[in-house]
Structure 1
Amino acid sequence: MAIMDLKFLVFLIALLLVWETQVQAETKVFNVINYGAVADGSKDNAQAFLDAWNDACQYEGNGRMYIPSGTYQLNHVQFKGPCNGGMEFMIQGTLKAPTDPKLFFVSETWINFQYVSALTIYGGGTLDGQGASAWKDNTCSTNPSCRTLPTALRLDFTNTSQIRDLVSLNSKNVHLTLYGCDNVEISNIKISAPGDSPNTDGIKMAKSKNIRIIHSDIGTGDDCIAMLDGLYDIQISGVTCGPGHGISIGSLADSRDIEDVSRITVRNCRLHDTTNGLRLKTWASPYKGRVFNLTYEDIVMENVQNPIIIDQNYCPHCRCNSTASSHVHISNVRFKNIRGTSSSEYAVTLNCSQARPCTDMRLEDIKLEYKSRGTPALSSCSHARGASYRPLRPLSCL
């Protein structure tokens, strides 16, 4: 009898532990309206959003910060962790960035999350950067002392998180930046800005690993996806890009502290009406680095100016030396099943470094046609070593 009582007691304790775990994991909603937010499109709601975030972040279970339907004016906000539980940032309304330079020049980021784990940003809402009010202030191409316009959404040192079902419109600068992040998935997002809007990259990443970008539509005035140094295990699939400058790695080696880029995979993507398709660019500089283990596979190009391009003599302005040679070593790069149309005669350009030539390059099943009737597409290689496999159009220069 005593043994039976002991078993029953153990069962009750286990049941209580399960119940306590479930209670702790319950999601509690923190509605910004209850913190004084007003969806009138004019009142700044930054303080209300911060107050809601702080309470949700301190909650012992899962906290959901909820922004219901409506239009919310929002000045610069910074949401900091770590938090006591998982965090949800649920946007069903539209958040509008300020248009007054006195307000948007206070920070290089509009909405910033730092040191948060298990964060989910979702809800079908919209981030409206109102970039048309600021693009005229982007003078960085001619003015070295220019002020940087703010990124719309930035995640710093954020881990095991998701961004999904979100729209980003007309950012003043980059739409979404990841820095120092690990295990982040971005899915079903739409990013949109005019093709002539300056520096409005869709997604920019650096110093991050285990990043997945899937099933998203990106059209901007700069790179749809820009990958900088310090990246490892990046997977991009099901992305439509256009207009914009394509899916890029670089520019790399503009400073001494360059970290490796490796295990980048781009699959099942479509690029249309872009200035570049799959691009890798490094500065003509003495700074050393490595880019290796890259796979580009099952990509469709439609009216793309430079479908496949490696440029290791990147030097867009007078601050660099166009006669220098890049010291970034590019190796083990595979292009397979790349098809479609090029809007320029050279569909494949592998302009590698004389100081550190590209090695282990592979072109396989490439079918790119020049849009001009009767003129075949061409390929150009410089200091590139590797192999090609039929069928190939244009004929390989490797």
Structure 2
Amino acid sequence: MDMHGNLKAPATVTVAKQHSGWVNFDNVADFTLNGNGAIFDGSGSAAWKANDCAKTGKCNNLPINVRFTGLTNSKIIGITSTNSKLFHMNVLNCKNITLQDIGIDAPPESLNTDGIHIGRSNGVNLIGAKIKTGDDCVSIGDGTENLVVEGVECGPGHGISLGSLGRYPNEQPVKGLIVRKCTIKNTDNGVRIKTWPGSPPGVASNILFEDITMDNVTTPILIDQEYCPYGHCKAGVYNRIKAFLYIKLKRRLIFMRF
């Protein structure tokens, strides 16, 4: 499928179905989308002002710009999401899917506009992306296996994050994550792993951050097992994390195992 031109959403802030998408690609196999630089414009500035996540702890009543759900053996090439009302792109329940030459563009004040969120998917490759947004450039949810994130330019934003994990019962393990050859600049965080306090037992394992260059990053590496952004949390920490980190910071090597 070839796409030409741009799509622009209405600026009106309306309550959407939970986790809904403005544009959805669902349950297709052997699918290729050649975007040719096409833009999905969410017209989100009014929504950011109306966002009440900090007060309620819930942020799911606004549409995600583009959702990829249940795709198998597929490629998404050369598309850009700008000014989404909530997350820009969501990849869920996918298998063997490649996203290449992806653009994300929104200002730092755009609340809860994660660039690309990946969850409950196996064999996702994110190869080449320029992400500017008001939240995580890439966020990785439970059930993600064999994920490669390579060649991402992140900033402004909150960095590249595994999690948050453990907010809900029966979350699936995260296994086999590689983040490499990325540049993170002018962000709050670099790479981080975050779980909610009081969460059920869970495991994130075989995680590799390699050859990552950071510039003007407030917290380059953050392992946070008491992530509680809105103050609606239980006490205690139960999640188990097994990780292997290899970080390149301004030509200095930091080698960590824990």
TM-score by length of 2: 0.93
User: 1:146, CA displacement in angstroms?
Assistant: 6.4
> In structure 2, the residue corresponding to 1:262 is in which secondary structure?
strand
Name the residue aligned to 2:231.
318
The one-letter code matched in structure 1 to 2:245 is: R
User: 1:318, CA displacement in angstroms?
Assistant: 2.9
Q: List per-residue Cα deviations over 1:338-395 (Å, max 9, x = no partner).
A: 1129xxxxxxxxxxxxxxxxxxxxxx9229xxxxxxxxxxxxxxxx974xxxxxxxxx
From 77, 82, 99, the equivalent of 1:164 is 77
Question: How many residues end up aligned between the 2 structures?
Answer: 256
Q: List per-residue Cα deviations over 1:296-326 (Å, max 9, x = no partner).
A: 11110000011011001112233203xx332
> In structure 2, the residue corresponding to 1:142 is in which secondary structure?
helix
The 3 A distance-change label for structure 1 pair 120 and 262 is same
Name the residue aligned to 2:13.
101
Q: Does 1:296 align with 2:182?
A: no
User: 1:229, CA displacement in angstroms?
Assistant: 0.3
The one-letter code matched in structure 2 to 1:327 is: Y
User: 1:164, CA displacement in angstroms?
Assistant: 0.9
Cα contact 1:312–1:325 (8 A) shared by 2 = no
Cα contact 2:57–2:232 (8 A) shared by 1 = no
Name the residue aligned to 2:28.
116
The 3 A distance-change label for structure 1 pair 132 and 325 is same
From 209, 215, 218, the equivalent of 2:128 is 215
Deviates more, 1:309-318 or 1:174-183: 309-318
Cα contact 2:17–2:61 (8 A) shared by 1 = no
- Aligned-partner Cα distance in 1 for 2:249–2:88: 29
C-alpha RMSD over aligned residues: 2.0
The one-letter code matched in structure 2 to 1:258 is: E
User: 1:100, CA displacement in angstroms?
Assistant: 2.3
Give the unaligned 5+ runs of structure 1.
1-87, 342-363, 368-383, 387-398
The 3 A distance-change label for structure 1 pair 145 and 256 is closer
Q: Does 1:340 align with 2:250?
A: yes
The one-letter code matched in structure 2 to 1:306 is: T
The 3 A distance-change label for structure 1 pair 116 and 280 is same
From 329, 343, 348, the equivalent of 2:240 is 329
Of structures 1 and 2, the one with the larger relative CO (CA 8 A, separation 6+) is 2
> In structure 2, the residue corresponding to 1:141 is in which secondary structure?
helix
The 3 A distance-change label for structure 1 pair 142 and 204 is same
Name the residue aligned to 1:366.
254
The 3 A distance-change label for structure 1 pair 279 and 106 is closer
